[in-house]
Amino acid sequence: DTEVTQTPKHLVMGMTNKKSLKCEQHMGHRAMYWYKQKAKKPPELMFVYSYEKLSINESVPSRFSPECPNSSLLNLHLHALQPEDSALYLCASSQDVSAYNEQFFGPGTRLTVL
Amino acid sequence: AQKITQTQPGMFVQEKEAVTLDCTYDTSDQSYGLFWYKQPSSGEMIFLIYQGSYDEQNATEGRYSLNFQKARKSANLVISASQLGDSAMYFCAMRGGTSGTYKYIFGTGTRLKVLA
């Protein structure tokens, strides 16, 4: 199984809503990532989890809250988002955080904040 | 600081022909990995090929090959026998090994259009 799954595929939410994005992998990978991608731009790293511990937070606003319940799951909790947070949110995983390991990406969640 | 540069915002290629997508990089790390990803309009990032900084041979994966010139700090992707399904955005990425960063550095991407 070389697949990273993400739910939901699409999400529309108001600025006062609370929602969560979910990501799952069953490849035994110990590193998981959240990226944000605006249209026609490369992905921007948000968070890195290594062995279920948060190792990098790229100065992401606190309205985004990551959670890694176990080695296969990664959540991104959303609260009080702004319209400029509308983007494609990509989850990825890799064997570990070594430079030599490719990341496998999920299909993404297209988020629209109204 | 690490940097990836893709100078071709868009490229066209005729079906069944080969195409080269350019990528240059800058890093102070001695060991690093170079990666190419394909992103169709559906949004998923698809891993294509990897080259390690210490690999002496150019990486190949099916129709994809990576032309790695370490002294020139370039890692160009060559797609042979282009197919209509190759139309997508292509990102070059780098990951440093010795500086402690776990981050992928992505280039700005090249949009490839394969013409029938």
A56 close contact with B: CB closer than 8 A = yes
Q: How close A65 gets to chain B, by Cα (Å)?
A: 19
For residue A110, the chain B residue with the least C-alpha distance is B43
Mean pLDDT of chain B: 93
For residue B108, the chain A residue with the least C-alpha distance is A42
**Best mutation target, A100, A103, A104, A110, to test chain B (most B CBs within 10 A):** A100
Question: Which is nearest to B95 in space by CA: A89, A48, A20, A52?
Answer: A48
* Mean pLDDT (10-residue bins), chain A, 114 residues: 89 94 96 95 94 90 96 96 96 87 94 96
* Residue numbers in A near B46 (CB within 8 A): 105
pLDDT value, residue B100: 55
Q: Is A27 exposed, middle or buried (0-12, 13-18, 19+ CB in 10 A)?
A: middle
Residue B101 has pLDDT above 70, yes or no: no
Q: Per residue in B8-65, pLDDT tens?
A: 999 999 999 999 999 999 988 888 899 999 999 989 999 999 999 999 899 999 999 9
Categorize the per-residue pLDDT at B102 as very low, low, confident or very high, splitting at 50, 70 and 90: low
Question: Which is nearest to B79 in space by CA: B88, B91, B66, B69?
Answer: B66
Question: Which is nearest to B109 in space by CA: B92, B95, B97, B94?
Answer: B92
Residue B99 has pLDDT above 60, yes or no: no
Contact B108 A41 (CB under 8 A): yes
Closest partner residue to B43 (CB to CB) among A88, A97, A99 is: A88
Q: How close A66 gets to chain B, by Cα (Å)?
A: 17
**Best mutation target, A102, A109, A110, to test chain B (most B CBs within 10 A):** A102
pLDDT value, residue A98: 79
Task: Tell me how far apart the alpha carbons of residues B26 and B58 are, in angstroms, rounded to a whole number.
Answer: 19
